[in-house]
Structure 1
Amino acid sequence: MEPSDAGGLDAEAALALLRGGEITVEGRLVEASNATLYCEIALDGARARCVYKPVRGERPLWDFPDGTLAAREMAAYELSEQLGGGLVPPTVLRDGPFGAGMAQLWIDTDDTVETVDLVRGGDRRLREIALFDAVINNADRKGGHLLPAPSGRVYAIDHGVAFHCDDKLRTVLWNWRGQPFDAGERALLDGLRAALGGPLGERLDDLLTRAEIAALAGRVDRLLARGRFPHPSADWPAIPWPPF
């Protein structure tokens, strides 16, 4: 994470603030389908903005167990860190004004960048997000979940509907479908597969079911065996609605 994208905080300082700071709710992001609160967080003179999603504000879904979306957001952050870090903003699980939930650092965006143009043009920065989404089985990668920041990075947010055991990949990032992985991408997948048998797997035990972790490992194995980005499934809508 670039400090210029998050009020001058680096990732380590942001995590400390998110874990121990006092959260003050300032508003609600009304376009979100679940309760998503815009907040200030403060600790020992340090201040920043964050998004807080309480578990009690999650809307029930037919295909995901109730009360699990915050944990899936945290699992996505853990996977992002394993794949090199800086893709998903610093994220923690903690108690807040409305109970347990997910708190994630707010990212300032570059308003001169059009997300539609990034997606339609196949911007190379989105390729790593496409790989990430294939790994976590993201069922809702809308264009609005991509945040172009002043530093030039593009961050990925909103991963509550991911890690399902069934194939549910639904995304606007199909630009690289069928293309072979490069050496760096294969190395990332190899490292992830090994990490799932170690500390990463232990951390995910508290966030996902054993079946979901096994399905995650299976997806990584299939991606490595096929050596290329997946194609859309014929059994599931390929693009979320609305896409942006």
Structure 2
Amino acid sequence: MPATDLVTAELTLTGRITTASNATFLGSIGDVAVVYKPIAGESPLWDFPRGTLALREVAAYQVSQVFGWNVVPHTWLRDGPFGEGMVQLWQEQDPAQSAVNLVATDHVPEVGWKHVLEGQDESGQMVALIHEDTPALRRMAVFDVVVNNADRKGDHILAMTDGHRHGVDHGLTFHRDHKLRSVLWGWLGDALTVEELEGIDRVSEGLNGGLGRDLAELLSAEEIGSLAVRCDRLRLSERFPAPSGEMSAVPWPLF
């Protein structure tokens, strides 16, 4: 379907995701399956301006495009049955794969996985939060630092059949203050790769051009300035950052 049709063709609702904290619907535009989050259905938050989450989701997609890693599925603003909102192409993940998991502490794999933290489950058993050690997930972690993602839960990572990893639910991003909360802390302190540094450079350069102009329609000038500072700091350190501040470094719930 042409891109213009995705904006103008009828959006038909087919279901609702009832576990989401904001109104989230499944729908279709012709034969294209989508997710629709109307601005009118956003729950008020104390630390994010009201009615801005859909704009932040679109901004996250635009930054993802400049990174060039296809982290965020195609996302745009358009009118729908409940007014203007964020629309995103539906992604059918592979149920046999999981990029993030909770396992018994004595069953943490020695190869191919990163250990994040340990705790007790509902039955009092000790479990470990782990995530896979793959280039695709590393790129997502870099993306999260740059966009200041305050809500990278395990279920916000979609494991695709071909090994690609999509990130979704980016309404809590681009805050001017440090808000990074993520389950992807396994590379803490590790050096960034050349590819990752080049991606950060593309975003920094884009802020002085087309990306900056596009984001100005979605974010405040202060938020864009903070985005630029995060890019500069990450580029200067050339390493995955450590948690900072007094707030939790992981979202809750984790999934």
Structure 2 unmatched ranges of 5 or more: 102-112, 115-129
Provide the aligned length of Structure 1 versus Structure 2.
Answer: 228
Equivalent-residue separation in structure 1 for 2:162 and 2:6 (angstroms): 22
Q: Which residue pairs with 1:113 in the alignment?
A: 97
Instruction: Pick the aligned partner of 2:8 from 20, 24, 35.
Output: 20
Give 1:115 deviation, angstroms: 3.6
Equivalent-residue separation in structure 1 for 2:183 and 2:199 (angstroms): 22
SS in 1 for 2:132: coil
1:97 is the counterpart of 2:81: yes
The Cα offsets for residues 93-134 of structure 1, whole Å up to 9 and x where unpaired, read as 011111000000000010111243477143312100000000
1:163 is the counterpart of 2:174: yes
Q: Which residue pairs with 1:4 in the alignment?
A: none
RMSD of aligned residue pairs (Cα, Å): 1.4
Give 1:151 deviation, angstroms: 2.4
Structure 1 unmatched ranges of 5 or more: 1-12
1:71 is the counterpart of 2:36: no
Cα 1:115/1:203, change in 2 over 3 Å: same
Instruction: Pick the aligned partner of 1:198 from 209, 214, 234.
Output: 209
SS in 1 for 2:151: coil
1:37 is the counterpart of 2:47: no
Q: Which residue pairs with 1:57 in the alignment?
A: 41
Equivalent-residue separation in structure 2 for 1:108 and 1:187 (angstroms): 29
SS in 1 for 2:199: helix
Instruction: Pick the aligned partner of 1:123 from 125, 130, 133.
Output: 133
Instruction: Pick the aligned partner of 2:190 from 167, 174, 179.
Output: 179
Match runs of 1:138-157 below 5 Å: 138-157=149-168
CA contact (8 A) 2:206 2:212 kept: yes
Cα 1:102/1:14, change in 2 over 3 Å: farther
Which range is displaced more, 55-64 or 145-154? 145-154
CA contact (8 A) 2:99 2:131 kept: no
Give 1:222 deviation, angstroms: 0.6
SS in 1 for 2:100: helix
The Cα offsets for residues 33-80 of structure 1, whole Å up to 9 and x where unpaired, read as 0000011111xxxx1110000000000000000000000000000000
Considering fraction of residues, name the structure with more helix.
1
CA contact (8 A) 1:50 1:105 kept: yes
Equivalent-residue separation in structure 1 for 2:131 and 2:39 (angstroms): 36
Q: Which residue pairs with 1:207 in the alignment?
A: 218
Residue identity opposite 2:62 in structure 1: E
Residue identity opposite 2:33 in structure 1: R
Equivalent-residue separation in structure 1 for 2:35 and 2:77 (angstroms): 12
Equivalent-residue separation in structure 2 for 1:187 and 1:64 (angstroms): 30
**Which of the pair has more CA radius of gyration?**
2
CA contact (8 A) 2:69 2:139 kept: no
Residue identity opposite 2:155 in structure 1: G
TM-score (norm 2): 0.86
The Cα offsets for residues 179-227 of structure 1, whole Å up to 9 and x where unpaired, read as 1111111111112111100010000000000000000001101111111
User: Alignment identity in percent?
Assistant: 48
TM-score (norm 1): 0.90
SS in 1 for 2:36: strand
